[in-house]
Chains A and B, each alone.
Chain A
Amino acid sequence: MGEPTVPQASGPSPVRFDAVVVGAGPAGSAAALALARAGRSVALVERGPFPGSKNVYGGVVYGRVLDPIVPRWWEEVPVERWVVRRSTMVVTGSQSLSVDYRTQAWGDAPYNGMTTLRARFDRWLADKAVEAGATLVTSTVATGLRRDATGRIAGVVTDRPDGELAASVVVACDGVNSLLAKEAGLLPRSAPEHLTLGVKEVLELPPATIDERFGVGRREGVDIEVLGGTGGIAGGGFLYTNAASVSVGAVLSLTQLAASGTRPEAVVAELKAHPAIEPLLRGARLREYSAHLIPEGGYDTVPPLAADGLLVAGDAAALTLAAGIWLEGVNFAIGSGWAAGQAAARALASGDCSAAGLASYRAALEDQFVLADHKRFRGAPGLVLSDRVQHQYPAMVCDLVEQLFTVANPEPKPGGWRVLRRTAARHGIPLRQLAADALRAARIFG
């Protein structure tokens, strides 16, 4: 990547672009790329020293969203490992039950999911925007929205001297805390009930050790999602393999974390010490500790996506999908950013960058996976974070399986129904409640 281009204001008039994209994460770089491809002048403003330097994710980037953006992206994307094993693990303090799926089909082009390091992945995508003609401006904070004499959004104010950037449209991809979307009144100042805190440790291990412990080849990886290993706090654990490290962490309901008084790294420590996880991490050395907020409120918390002269994409638009067994974010950021950039380009071409002129953005997201998936799973966050799914069911399911597979000779084996009834009763779960939740899950996920 070349040195960042610093716009120099000449005289009193600010530097002008057709569009300014704030945040060179996956959403912002996709938006800038779409605008540059449409022949528009676009500034891509990043507050970190390089794209990705402020970003953290929790496991897998699903790359097919890149098909129309970077043909044969898999030949050049900075991948750590291609995920060929996907495990969902339900745990109590001393038990674990895994559903482990492996397919070699995910290890060949066009692949399914990859693990990556955001410092590399985000830089790669930002470079695509730069190659297409976008102007990347790093180490620069967009501190606020610039407004014209009528009060309409007309660019951004930055923390550089003479750092106003004038533009007909701003695409705010400035992350979960989006100060720009808040300034525009699209996002509430705080909404901890719709946020989770992700805390992660990257643990160094030799590649051959990772291959052996996880039963994979050198370029193949594993993604494990854990339910029930986060103490009394709603959320989940995760563990995935990089080329020469394993990332392990927890995603925690922010309100429950705050109420519990538990320190976040203590939850990760407990997860790492679980008998089903500790052997995978033994002897590893901590390479990097990190934390980041995640907007997990789903469809009902997605803000208005357009205002006069402004579009919002990625985490700033709360577009992370946290629907039980589907946990996706980077692909939703890319999908929304790409659609935002295309909508902004259409608005620029028509000369109407008002909210009405930018309305094709939301329509595009409704047509595509971004909002279609969110709408389909809109009830998921409530169910997945419920006390029963978080605490009662993991314990019940583990005990159920333990009883099925414990051979207590000379006692004969009990029947399955009897074991189910007995276990549900012992965990204080009425069977009608179990049936009601099964029906609810079928409605949400079916």
Chain B
Amino acid sequence: MSAEPTAPSPLRAPIRSRHGGTVYPGQSFEERMATIEFRVGTRAHITVDSAVCRSCTTKACVSACPADLFAPTSDGGILFNYEQCFECGTCYQVCNEVGAITWTYPDGGHGVVFHHG
């Protein structure tokens, strides 16, 4: 190793574990979500007005939702699934289209149940 690196260490250099894989090789997002208990209610506590979403240029909810519940549709709208929601509020906080997301809590006793939070 030289005393003077020729460039600063890149912040976002590709990182691999020593074994070349990730810490959890092959774990799918579905398997990740299967670690959480959800007592799914019959009422959708979050509703998305896809007509409003069509004029949205960022669709930040799609990438920011930690439960990955927002999917863009081919006609420019948003498809939303409330069943595996963390109830965190990220979606309506990053939403820049007034009226696109209606956000409430699930009915009492329903929704996510964390055991190791």
Contact = CB atoms under 8 A, between A and B. Distances in A.
Say whether A associates with B.
Answer: yes
Interface of A: 47-49, 52-57, 92-95, 117-119, 138-141, 143, 158-160, 176-177, 179, 190-192, 195, 197, 199-200, 202, 228, 231-232, 242, 245, 247, 254-255, 257-265, 269-270, 272-275, 278-279, 281-282, 284, 286-293, 391, 394-396, 398-399, 402-403, 406, 408, 411, 414, 422, 426-427
A156 B39 CA distance: 24
B117 A292 contact: yes
Given A278-B17, A288-B35, A292-B117, A411 B3 contact: yes
Among A255, A286, A411, the one with the most B-chain Cβ atoms within 10 Å of its Cβ is: A286
B69 to A, nearest CB: 11
Interface size of B as a range: 35 or more
7 contacts: A48-B113, A54-B111, A56-B117, A119-B116, A140-B109, A177-B103, A426-B8
B117 A232 contact: no
B64 A257 contact: yes
B108 A199 contact: no
A110 B44 CA distance: 46
B104 to A, nearest CB: 8
Given A92-B9, A273-B17, A254 B35 contact: no
B35 A286 contact: yes
Contact of A119 (B58, B105, B117): B117
A273 B87 contact: no
Given A197-B66, A273-B15, A286-B27, A141 B9 contact: no
Given A197-B88, A254-B94, A288-B114, A47 B63 contact: no
Interface in B65-117: 66-68, 86-90, 92-95, 103-109, 111-117
B39 to A, nearest CB: 7
Interface of B: 1-5, 7-18, 22-24, 27, 29, 31-33, 35-36, 39, 58, 60, 63-64, 66-68, 86-90, 92-95, 103-109, 111-117
A254 B93 contact: yes
B16, B58, B60, B88: which has the most chain A beta carbons within 10 Å? B88
Contacts of B8: 395-396, 399, 426-427
Contacts of B105: 47, 141, 179
Contacts, number: 196
A295 B58 CA distance: 23
Contacts of B32: 265, 286, 289
Report, nearest first, the 4 A-B pairs whose CB atoms are least far apart. A139-B109, A408-B3, A93-B13, A291-B66
A402 B18 CA distance: 21
B88 A258 contact: no
B3 A289 contact: no
B114 A290 contact: yes
A151 B12 CA distance: 55
A272 B23 contact: yes
Contact of A53 (B17, B58, B60, B114): B114
A47 B112 CA distance: 11
B92 to A, nearest CB: 6
Nearest to B68: A263
B60 A290 contact: no
Contacts of B12: 93, 231-232
B93 A117 contact: no
Contacts of A398: 9
Contacts of A278: 17-18, 23
B108 A47 contact: yes
B22 A273 contact: yes
B100 to A, nearest CB: 12
Contacts of B109: 47-49, 138-140
Contacts of A291: 66-67, 86, 88, 90
Given A159-B108, A289-B33, A406-B1, A190 B115 contact: no
Contact of A117 (B13, B15, B108, B117): B117
B3 A202 contact: no
Contact of A140 (B7, B14, B108): B108
A143 B22 CA distance: 43
A190 B91 CA distance: 11
Contacts of B88: 197, 291-293
A287 B35 contact: yes
Contact of B116 (A195, A245, A261, A284): A245
B117 A290 contact: yes
B1 to A, nearest CB: 6
